Amino acid sequence: MAQLESTYGVYFSYNPAEIKGLTTSLPDSTLSTEKALRQLLQNLPLSFEKVKDKFYVIKKANSRFVELQIEDGETGVPLPFSTVRLKGTSKGQIANNEGVARLIIPAGKEQWLEVFFLGYQTKSIWIDTLSAVSSLKLNLYPEPLELNDYEIKEYLNPGIVADPKANSFRILPQEMEILPGLSERDVLLSAQIIAGVSSNDESASGINIRGSSRDNTLLYWNNVPIYHTAHYFGNISSFIPSSVGALDIYKNYIPVRYGGASAGLIAIQPRNSVEDKISGEISTNMTHADGFLKLPVLDKKGSLMLAARRSYNDAIPTWTFNSYGRKLFESETRDRQGLLRVADFSNNLNFSDLNLQWNYEASSRSNFSIGYISAHSQFGYKETNPQQRINIEQAHEVNSYGADLAWNYRVADRTSLAVSMAYSDYAMAYSFTNLRNPSDTSDDDTESRSNTVKNWEARVALTQRFGKGHLLSYGYQFNNLDIVNLINTQNFFEQNNAELIDSKANVHAFFSDMNLTMNQDFELVLSGRLTLLESLQKTVFSPQIKLNYNLGSHLLFKSSYGLYHQYLSTIKESQFTLSNAVEQHWLLADSEELVPLVENQQLSIGLIYNYADWLWDVDIYTKAIDGLLARNLGFGFTREDGFNQGSERIWGVDLTLRKRWKYFRTWVNYNFQDSEVSFSNLFPNSFPSSLNIRHQVGWSGSYSKGAWEFSLGYTFKTGAPYTSIDNVRLDDRRPPPPPGQGNPGDRQYKLRFSAPNSIRLPNYHRVDASIWHRFKGHNWKGEVGLSFINLLNRTNTYAVSYLVDFNRNGDVDVLERTKFFLRFTPNVSLRILF
């Protein structure tokens, strides 16, 4: 080819992979250029075509040649050295100094070209819309949002990516490849594939980051704080997969512009980029169905997104629903003689979600958006046991909604402004009723509890770029919080009781973040947040520092230190609900004696090696947390003891190893975590946290080729610690009733626990699998998924608890209740896109 270019004064474009291994002879040098090429290729599976002037392309018949002229859409100036890449691969090309890129794309299905240039919005081109030889002028427009250098790199698969330091991670559900156990792209379940991000109760809502409680992680939808994150008592995310554009996870640090979390942050952005065509999809699986629609508006400068979802298991029970029901409500209850007590139960659950988002890009420098999100969940439960005269009902309802306004404006080439206002409203209520006589409600015992959170939040931030790669951000955040907890108890034999905790306060915060790029190898980030809590009449300062250094072309040292303060946390309880899930009640820090401010001092150091198809990522971290409540330990404390404060010390290791081949990816995550809790006023010695899972190993493998994707995964966890009991003691001084004139149950008995968390549950093992298949028709495409959670149907123990009861002889007895994780759970999904 080089000799022909010299002989005829022409230029060839070709894919070296397509001509590798092919042999031929030089043509007769007296022939014209095109006749010489015909002679050269006559016995080869290749063809040629003249693009223009002296440029020729040589390719296979089913390949496509693309020539792109990449320019600034506002000025028309070429963008030299832009990057053109085949989406989901490392194949691509860098444009020349005139902004021209030429490449040959081999045949394939569902292929997209992505064009990148720093500071400009990424542009995508669907290959199927191009002819065999295409010359296009492509306009890129400046990125109108915040000025940042956030570079995305593939971490585990094309839809699970990270910044270059692997300090933050991004889930892109619309681009994500298959994960084991998932039939659809549930973002909160997908997030748990990241090392250090897990759920000890196997749920979507139970995410704890590096051993911290779930309420220590803040969750946002766009700019709206979210307090109800999942349905079916946490098993299904309350975010419609088709409406999610990206989910960002922060575990090494929390961006300084966000306040109120002490362990981590999950920020979700809706899928509503401005495009010039209508798109939509319809999805269904074995628990719910949803729809998504996106419309261009306002002369294609705006976009309207609508997504809605509704469960249908209240009308049509399925295998998946029944499996969730068993996990939520079934348990084994045995007395001291080992006799199993069995009760019949029935439940009725339903949920619905609605997402709306309107974006308007007045220019490449200005973006305005309005959003709305709502979630509703409701269930009813009945349990009966005629032999034990058990007749119990429970009702549960959650309503959550929020709205936000946002404006992003590029003031100048090096300065941008972001302004937002949001409102979040969360209301949860449930009741527990003991029907002594189903035909007479006058002697019922009823316990009802409710929790509401109202949060107005406003934020303004200015970002400036200066020098060579330096970045400065600063701003102000305001929150108006109104938190109410109400407990009503109505007992037939005892006095009724009501308990109200009502807290209102404003929170003001000023924040600043300075990113100093000293040179191409050294980066230093200094951050700080000054917060005034009116409820505590207290001001706290939260400093952060991050230091990253390139030890080599493929090896990076990373580190971060931060002091984080959390003013909104939860109390957790399980004894007033019949489900196996733990109820959370949000409280505002308004008293150092009652509800304290949670403080976490965290240090993390690590190394990341990323070369070719290999990735090694390791972090060592330590945490010192103060402001924990004893009520969350699960020992049935009284109100006085329950609000005793304690501390926790955590250290651990996160390790990820990934290897990628052409069609196959595999990765292994390992987490070591050790944590000790101290409550000096209640216990003389420290003890392991209930979330202390010492060792956790996860292996995943995926194979993708053509229209098929397969995935298999295995998870191992050491058993969680729990507390056994020694005996039962009498808890009051009333004399026993005369024989035949009373019930020993009228007296107060209390469990006497052994050393806290001194016993561990059996180790946890689970194998998951998934299969996805893609297909398409005219102007539409589809996807069908099949998943299996706990493929081998292993029995994994979730928790063991105890309660006082009386046997048939009227003697005091202790019941041991054992709860279990999901058994074998199949699911099928269907997704149609247009």
Domain hosting 628: range is 279-833
Over range 320-346, report the average pLDDT. 76
Of 102, 122, 140, the last residue of a domain is 140
- Measuring CA to CA, how many Å separate 35 from each of 8, 46, 271, 540? 12, 15, 52, 80
* pLDDT above 60: residue 388: no
Q: Could you tell me if residue 197 is inside a domain?
A: no
- What single DSSP character describes residue 365? T
pLDDT at 430: 84
What's the CA gap between 652 and 673, in Å, rounded?
4
What's the CA gap between 802 and 727, in Å, rounded?
11
Q: Could you tell me if residue 201 is inside a domain?
A: no
What's the CA gap between 236 and 229, in Å, rounded?
9
Query: Lowest mean pLDDT: which of 103-107, 209-213, 261-265, 768-772?
Result: 103-107
Over range 230-243, report the average pLDDT. 88
* pLDDT above 80: residue 701: yes
Cβ burial 394-412 (10 Å sphere, 16+ → b, else e): bebebbbbbbbebebbbee
* pLDDT above 90: residue 92: no
pLDDT at 164: 74
Of 98, 125, 140, the last residue of a domain is 140
Q: Could you tell me if residue 213 is inside a domain?
A: no
Q: What pLDDT band is residue 428 in, cutting at 50, 70 and 90?
A: very high
> pLDDT of 165-203, one tens digit each?
777 898 988 888 889 998 888 999 999 999 999 998 888
Number of H helices, E strands in the chain: 6, 54
pLDDT at 574: 63
743's enclosing H/E stretch is: none
Q: Could you tell me if residue 355 is inside a domain?
A: yes
What's the CA gap between 553 and 558, in Å, rounded?
14
Whether the Cβ atoms of residue 607 and residue 558 lie closer than 8 Å to each other: yes
> pLDDT of 484-498, one tens digit each?
988 877 665 555 666
pLDDT at 764: 96
Three-state secondary structure call for residue 579? coil
- Measuring CA to CA, how many Å separate 469 from each of 219, 308, 345, 524, 727? 30, 42, 63, 12, 66
Over range 314-334, report the average pLDDT. 85
Residue 726: which CATH number? 2.40.170.20
Alpha helices by DSSP H, 627-766: 639-642
Same domain as 283, residue 135: no
pTM of the predicted structure, to 2 decimals: 0.79
CA angle 415, 418, 420 (to 5 degrees): 170
Pairing state of beta strands 470-490 and 614-629?
Answer: unpaired
What's the CA gap between 372 and 271, in Å, rounded?
13
**Two tokens, residue 404:** 């936000």
**Two tokens, residue 349:** 């659950």
Of 90, 109, 140, the last residue of a domain is 140
What's the CA gap between 209 and 789, in Å, rounded?
22
Query: Lowest mean pLDDT: which of 526-535, 626-635, 682-691?
Result: 626-635
In the block, residue with structure tokens 């200094």:
526
Q: Could you tell me if residue 239 is inside a domain?
A: no
Other Cβ atoms within 10 Å of 362 Cβ, number: 13
* pLDDT above 90: residue 342: no
Q: What pLDDT band is residue 149 in, cutting at 50, 70 and 90?
A: very low
Query: Lowest mean pLDDT: which of 303-312, 431-440, 590-599, 728-737?
Result: 728-737
Q: Provide the percentage of residues in the chain whose pLDDT is more than 90.
A: 41
Whether the Cβ atoms of residue 644 and residue 635 lie closer than 8 Å to each other: no
Greatest alpha-carbon span in the chain? 124
Three-state secondary structure call for residue 497? strand
pLDDT at 495: 59
Residue 68: which CATH number? 2.60.40.10
Other Cβ atoms within 10 Å of 472 Cβ, number: 18
- Measuring CA to CA, how many Å separate 73 from each of 137, 141, 277, 413, 593? 10, 5, 19, 15, 60
> pLDDT of 591-620, one tens digit each?
767 888 999 999 999 999 988 788 999 999
What's the CA gap between 208 and 266, in Å, rounded?
11
What's the CA gap between 412 and 300, in Å, rounded?
25
Other Cβ atoms within 10 Å of 89 Cβ, number: 12
Other Cβ atoms within 10 Å of 464 Cβ, number: 15
Q: Could you tell me if residue 185 is inside a domain?
A: no
Distance of CA 665 to the CA centre of its chain: 21
Average pLDDT for the chain: 84
What's the CA gap between 467 and 149, in Å, rounded?
14
Closest CA to 172 of 234, 236, 88: 88
Q: Could you tell me if residue 218 is inside a domain?
A: no
Other Cβ atoms within 10 Å of 284 Cβ, number: 17
pLDDT at 145: 45
* pLDDT above 80: residue 587: yes
Pairing state of beta strands 568-573 and 583-588?
Answer: antiparallel
Q: What pLDDT band is residue 738 in, cutting at 50, 70 and 90?
A: low
Residue 725 carries which side chain, given as an amino acid letter? I
In the block, residue with structure tokens 């007395």:
335
- The values of phi and psi at residue 425, to 5°, are -135, 120
- Count of domains forming the chain: 2
- What single DSSP character describes residue 818? E
What's the CA gap between 665 and 376, in Å, rounded?
38
Q: What pLDDT band is residue 33 in, cutting at 50, 70 and 90?
A: confident
Secondary structure of 43-92 as H, E, C letters: CCCCEEEEEECCEEEEECCCCEEEEEEEEECCCCCECCCCEEEECCCCCE
Q: What pLDDT band is residue 142 in, cutting at 50, 70 and 90?
A: low
673's enclosing H/E stretch is: strand 664-678
In the block, residue with structure tokens 């509890």:
449
